[in-house]
Structure 1
């Protein structure tokens, strides 16, 4: 396989997963309003922070209102990770490499792009938003299902899987990093009133990853911060947990040539997750720990890029 083809389909996998993750985050933050007391403020700017898009957002995230964040997250072409931008990038990468995947896959991506282009602006209003977000989530899941059911499990498939699982691990770590207390900062102004809100907010974290039911099956305890963090980072069975994503990366690397550097990067992060004392980190230092995890995820991407993709040429201006 040509390096440029591998890079294109790797980024197609990442952009499709990014689109679904953004839709999930927006959807759960909207639904959170229904579970909270009237007049409670939800920090919409937190969505911008989770995605790491502060530099592209024109306003202070702490003072951001719902409509401005929705415009930015749904259809702003100046935002490289808006739903429309992510789908446009996935569509372009799929168009160039469409001969290596089932025709239904490209047709689905192309149709989803035009669906978003026609409807993203109207979904700023809450009534239309839920329908659009649920449709996007279902379409990306259909994309994943088409690949699993109709595409040969060859190197091309593995590079798409690498992109999907690395993006998924990155987003899960970002969601854990922000945590429920920053989605609703005012709820924690008084310690005596914090616990009921804390349970609701950590449930919203799980639901943003469709992990609430699986958490209840595996943990068999009420929703609490310590167990949620351990579940989302360490559980090897839940598909959106960081550990599970790393296992999937390992399986892909095992079938690709010259993968020693990438395997070492994954092994380093898995050791870091297994040896972490989350009880102590929750008391002090979780943010710094998650920063380290995200740095290691970035290192895995760098290992993939240097091993299998063409080097980026710096053009003198």
Structure 2
């Protein structure tokens, strides 16, 4: 096992979480945008599902500010900046080529703020994130680093799917992938909380609020200091 400091482990873990948060929220943003064509007030439900403040004046204000407002800590661009900040601190670990895809994602999103084809530009952001993840698998030799990034990703996806009240069919795959990575022993975790989450999402009725709370309790506290 590689010797990795707690500080570096934090950045690796949160790089996984933030990059997944951007990827999943952009995909849900696409769906929400379609719904808002017929239900303009759906952005209120969207904010409630993600448990973020509804600071928007209208659906059009939401669609623009939620994607591009760097002063909003819950916006897509802010979360992408959080991912990039962690990646920058891991420059030596990730390598230039891998980091370049995160830089491309940030630049793509910033440049699409006033684009008449914003949805197309956002799709390119998703493509850059996918390339970033692929490059991590291809360029980083350390299984520990790859696994911790994926632990962050899988846990974040489950957390977001619980907030969005998705069915267990959506959560089973990331949950099993999370369990497989955690069992490699690269980060400390609470097995009881992991089992509790598993029983919740595989049951006949999912307790979504408890699931969100449990998902945030699985990883030990020392890995929770975000940038």
The TM-score by the shorter chain falls in which range?
Answer: 0.7 to 0.9
Match of 1:304 among 204, 220, 223: 220
Residues 1:49 and 2:52 are matched in the alignment: no
1:14-48: CA deviation from partner (whole Å, max 9, x where unpaired): 111111112111111223467xxxx6545122222
Alignment partner, residue 292 of structure 1: 210
Q: Please list the CA deviations of residues 227-286 of structure 1 after superposition, one character each: whole Å capped at 9, or x if unmatched.
A: xx2422xxxxxxxxx232222222222222573x43332112112223x223xxxxxxx6
Paired residue secondary structure (1:53): coil
**Within 2, Cα distance between the matches of 1:133 and 1:269?**
32
1:264 is aligned to: 192
For the residues of structure 2 that align with 1:69 and 1:102, how far apart are their CA atoms? 36
The residue correspondences of 1:27-176 to structure 2 (distance < 5 A) are 27-32=30-35, 41=40, 43-54=42-53, 57-59=54-56, 64-120=57-113, 122-123=114-115, 127-176=116-165
Answer with 1 or 2: which has the greater Rg.
1
Deviation per residue, 1:95-118 (Å, 9 max, x gap): 111111232111111121122222
Contact persistence 1:27–1:133 (CA under 8 A): no
Aligned counterparts, 1:115-264, within 5 A:
115-120=108-113, 122-123=114-115, 127-176=116-165, 229-232=167-170, 242-256=171-185, 259=188, 261-264=189-192
Native 8 Å contact 2:40 2:59 kept in 1? no
TM-score (norm 1): 0.64
> Equivalent residue of 1:176, what SS?
coil
Q: Distance in 2 between matches of 1:31 and 1:310?
A: 35
- Whether the 8 Å contact between 1:253 and 1:263 is mirrored in structure 2 is no
Separation in 2 of the partners of 1:47 and 1:258? 32
C-alpha change, 1:146 and 1:3, in structure 2 (3 Å) is same
1:19–1:82 CA contact under 8 A, matched in 2: no
SS of 1:152's equivalent in the other structure is coil
Secondary structure in structure 2 of the residue aligned to 1:78: coil
Q: What stretches of structure 1 of length at least 5 have no aligned partner? A: 178-228, 233-241, 279-285, 313-317
Root mean square deviation of aligned Cα: 2.4
1:283 paired residue number: none
Equivalent residues of 1:24, 1:133 under 8 A apart:
no
Q: CA deviation at 1:136?
A: 1.5
Which residue of 1 is the match for residue 204 of structure 2?
Answer: 277
